Amino acid sequence: MSELQTSIAALRKSYERAELDEAASHADPLQQFDQWLNEAIAAQVPEPNAMTLATVGSDLRPSTRIVLVKGYDARGLVFYTNYESRKGQELAGNPYAALQFHWVELERVVRIEGVVEKATAAESDAYYDSRPLDSRIGAWASPQSRVISGRGVLVANAAKYGAQFLLKPPRPPHWGGYRLVPTDWQFWQGRKSRLHDRLRYRQDGGGWVRERLAP
**Cα dihedral 36, 39, 40, 44 in deg (nearest 10):** 180
Q: Where are the beta strands (DSSP E) in 19-165?
A: 50-56, 62-68, 71-73, 76-82, 96-103, 108-118
CB 79 within 8 A of CB 68: yes
- Return per-residue pLDDT of the chain as tens, 215 residues: 566 666 777 766 666 778 898 998 999 999 999 999 999 999 999 999 999 999 999 999 999 999 999 999 999 999 999 999 999 999 999 999 999 999 999 999 999 999 999 999 999 999 999 999 999 999 999 999 999 999 999 999 999 999 999 999 999 999 999 999 999 999 999 999 999 999 999 998 889 999 999 99
Q: Where are the beta strands (DSSP E) in the chain?
A: 50-56, 62-68, 71-73, 76-82, 96-103, 108-118, 175-189, 197-204, 207-212
pLDDT value for 152:
96
Neighbours of 171 (CB within 10 A): 19
Catalytic annotation, pick one of 17, 146, 194, 212: 194
pLDDT value for 22:
92
pLDDT value for 157:
96
pLDDT value for 121:
98
Active-site residue flag, 194: yes
- DSSP label at residue 56: E
pLDDT value for 6:
62
pLDDT value for 16:
72
pLDDT value for 5:
61
